[in-house]
Structure 1
Amino acid sequence: MRKIWIVAVVATSLFSAAPAHASEKGWNDAGSIARDALVVAAFGVPAVQGDWDGVLQAGGSIAVAAGATYGLKEAFPERRPDGSDNKSFPSGHTSMSFAAAATLQNRYGWKVGVPAQLVAAFVGLSRVEARKHHVHDVLVGAAIGEASGFLITRRANDRIQVFPWGDTKGGGVAVTMRF
């Protein structure tokens, strides 16, 4: 029953975030609302279930995505499409949204993750439509968010665990299962 409630909250957030007039400001506001809803869900879903490890992992995923994004913004200044400043690359709204969505998906599975990923994709679209970011800004932001969400978050069900690894000669993913 909780999962159905969670999916309903995420879906409602997506529909309430739809821009009313499809103006740049409408898209900007809608994207910000959707991003905020995802971040609240990433912290709220585990908190409601008493999953404090999930809360910490959500915080870590979102913090790493935000830190990497803002570091890149300083290292690679790029003019926004609307000309407002030189902080276009990469998209912070998108990186944090995808970090939250990837955390929810990795921790609780596809029933929670797919709606969250759709909301994150909407955030990315909204940033381009609001003329705050170029498409490549959004794609890099999505990659940063997905990476931080999947690398920092563990599944709530510890019977199956996925561990990315790497060294100087290669990398891969190790999957373990408990029966």
Structure 2
Amino acid sequence: MGIRFAIFCFLSVLFLPPVYSENQKLTQFGHYGQIGVPLTAGIISLYDEDYSGFGEVIEGAIFTSLATYALKYSVREERPDGSDNLSFPSGHTSSAAQGAAYLQFKYGWKYGLPAYAITGLVGYSRVQANQHSWHDVIAGALLGTAIQYAVTVKGYSLVSIIPYVGADEVGLFVSAKF
């Protein structure tokens, strides 16, 4: 437990942005947090030699990204600042929530609570930067959490990744269900 938590804390600090104005710092934190939380989840799984868990993180990230962009292009909601990017749901928040959900479902609230706190800050950063409305952020968080729940808790997985080591080779066996 101790070394995994240290990895989590180290990677969280590693992704803290350099010194900017307060608004820029928060916006940069949102950019880093969307990647940092799922990346930390994957690194913890690899450290624990939990390769099936690592596959769950990857699969959850892929499905979350696909679902987020499918919704963005279906709903086609304009951003609050009027920029060209689509608003609903927040991709930054869905990505961070997916990683936080994995940590909570796999390792409990000791990992999940700080990861969800970071996710909340990522979501707040998107509203503060005038890139999203609160409903975009809440939808992103629910989407990322629900998809990771389906993959990690319910076992709705389409891909199996199994490492193997032979006398002269090392590799991965990948199986996909359609």
TM-score normalized with structure 2 length: 0.79
1:9 aligns with: 10
* Identity in percent: 34
Taking a change above 3 Å as real, the CA distance of residues 70 and 13 of structure 1, as seen in their structure-2 partners, is: same
1:20 aligns with: 20
**Aligned partner letter, 1:45:** I
Whole-Å Cα distance in 1 between the matches of residues 27 and 106 of structure 2? 29
Contact 1:28 1:130 in 2 (8 A): yes
Number of residues of Structure 1 aligned to a counterpart in Structure 2: 155
Contact 1:3 1:112 in 2 (8 A): no
Whole-Å Cα distance in 1 between the matches of residues 148 and 41 of structure 2? 10
Contact 2:45 2:51 in 1 (8 A): yes
1:78 aligns with: 77
Unaligned runs of 5+ in 2: 157-178
Which consecutive aligned stretches of 4+ in structure 1 deviate over 6 angstroms post-superposition?
A: none
Contact 1:10 1:116 in 2 (8 A): no
3-state SS, counterpart of residue 50 of structure 1? coil
Whole-Å Cα distance in 1 between the matches of residues 43 and 155 of structure 2? 26
3-state SS, counterpart of residue 94 of structure 1? helix
TM-score normalized with structure 1 length: 0.78
Whole-Å Cα distance in 2 between the matches of residues 61 and 90 of structure 1? 16
Contact 1:104 1:113 in 2 (8 A): yes
Q: CA deviation at 1:6?
A: 3.0
Whole-Å Cα distance in 2 between the matches of residues 46 and 97 of structure 1? 16
Contact 2:8 2:44 in 1 (8 A): no
Taking a change above 3 Å as real, the CA distance of residues 27 and 84 of structure 1, as seen in their structure-2 partners, is: farther
Whole-Å Cα distance in 2 between the matches of residues 37 and 30 of structure 1? 10
**Aligned partner letter, 1:141:** G
